[in-house]
């Protein structure tokens, strides 16, 4: 029996709520996962962050590094700033429509992180959104990321983890490098949280598919790693890529996601239609991707 359509990757705080709800209705969604991140633009001034990014900038990019750093500060500072309470309140207001995911600040103290995790538990959160790009951390070097993985494994929370590029200065692969899935391996060998590779490592406005190979490798190695189609659905639904996912990972770990409304010119309906009309998926596989996988993962 179909579980209905579940969008595992949305951003309702990035547009008027009434418009977002109208789009959910138009797409006939059962429910969705609202996502946001806690971040601080001034983290670009941290010596460890600057050193890590600078080491990857060569040639013209190296000469432009101060402009890049200012671009990072400006872009991060321009984004909406909801809170864990905001998303919990949204889910309480519409309990059948939203599965509440929160976030934590990744560059603070371990004590600060622990308090935020406990706050999330009190608020009834079901998972966390992490972006190594906008939150300026590298998972292989972050003790806080280890603590998040330990917490989520214990509490059965799901981590929605950004992989691939991001808009603005993070469209430069060298700047977005922390979001390469390969940096997850050393941590996931020690912890086993259920983690979703947002965008399947493939998102880039200029280099679509750039870390898809790495994402496949990570998902193949760890059976608690999932991936979603958000911002990369046309790439993921290509015949050769679906064949590879089916053979090396399994379509039972592929989630439908749209990134609505932050991907310009796209909507939830077009994402649903792309999967529903894909001639490289059977009818059963379409139902699995559009909702059954997410329903199982989120215990709906």
Which pLDDT does position 236 carry in this prediction?
A: 98
Over 80: is that where the pLDDT of 265 sits?
Answer: no
pLDDT score of 64 more than 60: yes
Three-class DSSP category at 278: coil
Residue 299: phi and psi, rounded to 5, are 55, 50
Residue 234: pLDDT above 90?
Answer: yes
Burial of 80 (0-12, 13-18, 19+ CB in 10 A): exposed
Question: SS3 sequence, 3-54?
Answer: CCEEEEEECHHHCCHHHHHHHHHHCCEEEEEECCCCCCHHHHHCHHHHHHHH
pLDDT in tens, 73-97: 999 999 989 999 999 999 999 999 9
Query: Can you tell me the distance from the alpha carbon of 159 to that of 101, in angstroms, rounded to the nearest whole number?
Result: 9
Residue 278's domain comprises 5-297
Mean confidence (pLDDT) of the chain:
97
Tell me phi and psi for residue 198, to 5 degrees.
-60, 135
Each residue's pLDDT tens digit, 188-208: 999 999 999 999 999 999 999
pLDDT over 80 at 278, yes or no: yes
Report, as an integer, the average pLDDT of 247-272: 94
DSSP 150-171: HHHHHHT-EEEEEEE--SGGGG
pLDDT above 70 (res 1): no
Residues 130-159 pLDDT 10s = 999 999 999 999 999 999 999 999 999 999
Q: How confident is the model at residue 2 (pLDDT cuts 50, 70, 90)?
A: low
| Per-residue model confidence as pLDDT tens digits over 5-55 | 999 999 999 999 999 999 999 999 999 999 999 999 999 999 999 999 999
CA atoms within 13 A on the CB side of 135: 25
pLDDT in tens, 104-127: 999 999 999 999 999 999 999 999
How many domains is the chain partitioned into structurally? 1
Mean pLDDT for the stretch of residues 258-279 = 93
Chain center to CA of 106: 15
The CATH number of the domain holding residue 243 is 3.20.20.140
∠ Cα 209 214 220 (to 5°): 120
Contact call for residues 33 and 268 (beta carbons, < 8 A): no
Write the pLDDT tens digit of every residue in 123-134.
999 999 999 999
- Percent of the chain clearing pLDDT 70 (strictly above): 99
């Amino acid at each position: 029996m179909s579980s209905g359509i579940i969008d595992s990757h949305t951003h309702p705080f990035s547009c008027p709520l009434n418009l977002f709800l109208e789009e959910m209705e138009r797409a006939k969604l059962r429910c969705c996962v609202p996502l946001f991140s806690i971040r601080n633009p001034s983290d670009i001034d941290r010596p460890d962050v600057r050193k890590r990014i600078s080491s990857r900038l060569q040639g013209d990019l190296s000469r432009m590094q101060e402009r890049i750093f200012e671009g990072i500060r400006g872009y991060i500072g321009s984004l909406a700033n909801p809170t864990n309470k905001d998303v919990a309140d949204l889910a309480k207001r519409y309990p059948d429509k939203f599965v509440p995911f929160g976030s934590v600040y990744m560059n603070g103290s371990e004590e600060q992180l622990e308090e935020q995790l406990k706050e999330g538990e009190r608020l009834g959160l079901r998972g966390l959104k992490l972006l190594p790009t906008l939150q300026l951390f590298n998972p292989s070097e972050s003790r806080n990321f280890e603590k998040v993985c330990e917490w989520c494994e214990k509490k059965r929370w799901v981590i929605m983890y950004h992989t691939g590029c991001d808009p603005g200065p993070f469209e430069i692969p060298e700047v977005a490098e922390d979001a390469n899935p390969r940096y997850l391996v050393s941590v996931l060998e020690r912890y086993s949280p259920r983690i979703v590779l947002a965008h399947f490592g493939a998102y880039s406005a200029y280099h679509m598919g750039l870390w898809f190979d790495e994402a496949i490798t990570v998902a193949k190695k760890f059976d608690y790693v999932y991936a979603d189609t958000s911002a990369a659905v046309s790439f993921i639904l290509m015949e050769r890529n679906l064949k590879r996912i089916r053979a090396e990972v399994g379509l039972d770990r592929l989630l439908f996601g749209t990134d609505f409304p932050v991907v310009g010119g796209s909507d939830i309906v077009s994402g649903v239609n792309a999967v529903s009309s894909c001639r490289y998926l059977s009818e059963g596989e379409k139902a699995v991707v559009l909702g059954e996988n997410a329903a199982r993962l989120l215990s709906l």
